[in-house]
Chain A
Amino acid sequence: MIIALAGQPNSGKSTIFNQVAGYKTVTSNFPGKTVKYTKSKVKMGKEFEVVDLPGTYSLTSSDLAELEARNYILQKKADVVINVIDASILSRSLELTIQLTELEVPIVICLNMMDEAKKKGIKIDTRKLEEIFGVPVVTTVANKGIGIKKLFSTALEWKKKPNCLKYSKDIEKIISMLSSKIKNEPRRLYAIKILEGDEFFVSQTDIDYRRYQEIIEREHGRPCDLVIASERHALSMNIFERVATVGTPEKSFFDLDRVLMGKLGYPVLAIILYTMFYLVFKFGGVFEDPLLNYFNDLASRIFLGNALLHNIIVGLIQGFAGGIGIVLPYLFPLLICLAFLEDTGYMPRVAFLMDSFFHKIGLHGKTLIPFMLGYGCTVPAIMGTRILESERDRYLAGFLAAFIPCSARTSVIFGIAAFYLGPMTAFLLYITNIIFIGFLGIILSRIYEEKTPGLILEIPSLKTPSLKSMLLKTWLRIREFIIIAWPLLILGSIVLSLMEYYGYDEIVNNLLSPVTILLGLPVAVGTTLIFGILRKELSMLMLIQALGNLSILSKTQMLTFTVFIMYYIPCLATIAAMINEYRVKKTVLIVVTTVIVALILGVIARFIGDAVW
């Protein structure tokens, strides 16, 4: 038994999924976040599988995510589809519901965010809605866990197809004329989508569809796709009027959006970002020094007769220490802050504020969302570029996002630059990084000249984040570090120990000596740079291990090293994500650029360091 969750972006699909799946996906508050679908086995009386489909406004194949969701349902992979609806914007949401009924699979409607609807003064007659669509309707408040059990128990039992909703007579006439010529099932769906000019459905048949479109266009004097969309819109407005009454909304005594999205929004944004930076630094700093000292002390006190074993143990301790002492203290507060910004719905507001600025670098405001995610991890940033419409925008956004210091790089910036050179240096590194990205954006948008289609972005209402959801989201991302990266880090640390033991590190270091010498770094740093490609924080931990103690490095060397790490080759996971999104050739171009940029900026850092210190 498979239950699929389908719904528009921000309808709370992922929240419902997380409630039953034990938080196996990340939920967030901006359009189109869950691009790849996620699934999980659930036991609730009997065992079944829940699939969280990407959020889609409609089922027309303009968008990759929408296509994925539609194909999934069309291929009858799911036994039941739960259509999750934000009850506070019911009329618009019903347009997707109508399209789902056309797929002719069993549907259960979930009216989510009933509390928000109540605040807006919307009352919904669920019985009437059930009658119209011929499907069960369950009301929920997903973030509080209300109604979830009933939703799934209803879905598990439901096997009937929904009612067929009719458009106006003249359109229905054309639909039935066309569908009598179609062999593919469901015929009605094919007919409607072909009239809409949907490339996928058109390519499946060899009917002269233009003839039918032209009949409609002649009668309505508008493009056929717009006629069908308007029909659907009118139908859902009609249903909305029959099932809902809109009273007076609850008065809120203060409209926060006036501040957040007005002129004051800019200083507020600056304060928020600065506070985030400060919190991460303060929190991480408390733990880094004592933890590292403790483990260094531990490692130095170990004496084993067998030199090989000794090296392995020391490598293991240092790898472990790096994770707990340097990465986690900075990763945790950073991820909490990002989860807060996502869950409140602040991200789309930042996109709104920054749109004009981004236009200057040839992109638009929505790009900021993957960029902000990039401060957490570059992989979701690359995947997040899918919310942009054009391929060129997606590639440029991904190209630039590769240069945003992710949390792994953050731990290097904080662990070395902020810790040894002072927070001001770290702050300046971030500022120059932003300036650099803007500069690169201008260059890239000149190279890939194209008019961006412009911003079309829904601004969902502000929400009070639930602490539980924030913590679970953070935990999920940290778990990724603990399960995947940390063991890798410890393993890398041991491998380095062994390489030292057998003298292999010399070979690698010699090979990389042109780079290290150019940057004015000790030759021993060479090996660590290779490890950094696996995970960026690995290079710093390896550095500690290779040199024994970071304070051997001069201030300039610390700066150069940090700058190089910040910019050179994104980690392996990022490269994999990039190949997935942009194919090999374009990924290689990004990687090569990062190396060149890292070398140039590294040398500049070296000169600046020499001049200052």
Chain B
Amino acid sequence: MRLDRVKEGTKVQIISIGGGKGVRRRLTELGIFPGEYGTVEKNSFGPILLRINGNNIALGRGIAAKIEVKVE
């Protein structure tokens, strides 16, 4: 499932990160790796807020759409 379609408050596991090398690098720098677990803290309007390893990351909807996740 795409990260931008996950409901608020859901725990997810990152499966893969699409997009180019640049985006991938910036996401992995912030701890968003395939295999990691995170929680979708906010997903209603505007960007998505993903909590991962005790850290909040705001992701634009376009970016979130490139992240494939599995709902736990």
Q: A389 touching B22 by the CB < 8 A rule?
A: yes
Give the complex CA separation of A226 and B18 in angstroms: 11
Q: A120 touching B47 by the CB < 8 A rule?
A: no
B40 within 8 A of partner (CB): no
Q: A355-B60, A454-B60 are in contact. Are A58 and B23 (CB under 8 A)?
A: no
Which residues in B have their C-beta under 8 angstroms from that of A57? 26, 29-30
B49 within 8 A of partner (CB): yes
Give the complex CA separation of A546 and B17 in angstroms: 63
Mark interface residues in B17-61 (1 if CB within 8 Å of A CB, else 0). Answer: 100011111111111011100000010111101000111111111
Give the complex CA separation of A62 and B23 in angstroms: 10
Give the complex CA separation of A262 and B57 in angstroms: 15
B15 within 8 A of partner (CB): no
Give the complex CA separation of A396 and B44 in angstroms: 28
Q: A456 touching B54 by the CB < 8 A rule?
A: no
Mark interface residues in A147-163 (1 if CB within 8 Å of B CB, else 0). Answer: 00000000000000000
Q: B58 touching A348 by the CB < 8 A rule?
A: yes
Other-chain contact of A230, B33, B45, B46, B62 (Cβ < 8 Å): B33
Give the complex CA separation of A524 and B17 in angstroms: 63
- Counting chain A residues whose Cβ lies within 8 A of the other chain, the interface size class is 35 or more
A43 to chain B, nearest CB (A): 36
From DSSP, what is the main secondary structure of chain B's interface residues? mixed
Q: A223-B21, A456-B60 are in contact. Are A352 and B47 (CB under 8 A)?
A: yes
Mark interface residues in A127-157 (1 if CB within 8 Å of B CB, else 0). Answer: 0000000000000000000000000000000
Which residues in A have their C-beta under 8 angstroms from that of B57? 456-459
Give the complex CA separation of A220 and B41 in angstroms: 32
Q: B54 touching A455 by the CB < 8 A rule?
A: no
The closest CB in chain B to the CB of A57 belongs to: B29
Other-chain contact of B54, A88, A225, A454 (Cβ < 8 Å): A88
A89 within 8 A of partner (CB): yes
B63 within 8 A of partner (CB): yes
Count of B residues near A, CB < 8 Å? 32
The closest CB in chain B to the CB of A366 belongs to: B58
Q: A58 touching B29 by the CB < 8 A rule?
A: yes
Q: B59 touching A456 by the CB < 8 A rule?
A: yes
Q: B46 touching A353 by the CB < 8 A rule?
A: yes
Most chain A beta-carbon contacts within 10 A, residue among B26, B28, B47, B55: B47
Q: B26 touching A389 by the CB < 8 A rule?
A: yes
A197 within 8 A of partner (CB): yes
Which residues in A have their C-beta under 8 angstroms from that of B21? 197, 223, 225
A92 within 8 A of partner (CB): yes
Q: B62 touching A92 by the CB < 8 A rule?
A: no
B33 to chain A, nearest CB (A): 5
The closest CB in chain A to the CB of B29 belongs to: A57
Which residues in B have their C-beta under 8 angstroms from that of A365? 46-47, 58, 60
A453 within 8 A of partner (CB): yes
Give the complex CA separation of A575 and B68 in angstroms: 44
Most chain A beta-carbon contacts within 10 A, residue among B42, B44, B45, B46: B46
A351 within 8 A of partner (CB): yes
A60 within 8 A of partner (CB): yes
The closest CB in chain A to the CB of B56 belongs to: A459
Q: Which 5 A-B pairs have the closest CB atoms?
A: A454-B60, A455-B60, A57-B29, A454-B62, A459-B56
Taking A95-B29, A453-B23 as known contacts, 8 extra A-B pairs with beta carbons closer than 8 A to each other, sorted by chain A number, are A58-B25, A365-B46, A453-B62, A454-B63, A455-B47, A456-B58, A457-B58, A458-B30
Q: Which B positions have Cβ atoms within 8 angstroms of A?
A: 17, 21-31, 33-35, 42, 44-47, 49, 53-63
Contact sample, A vs B, 6 pairs, CB 8 Å cutoff? A225-B25, A233-B28, A233-B31, A355-B46, A454-B62, A458-B58
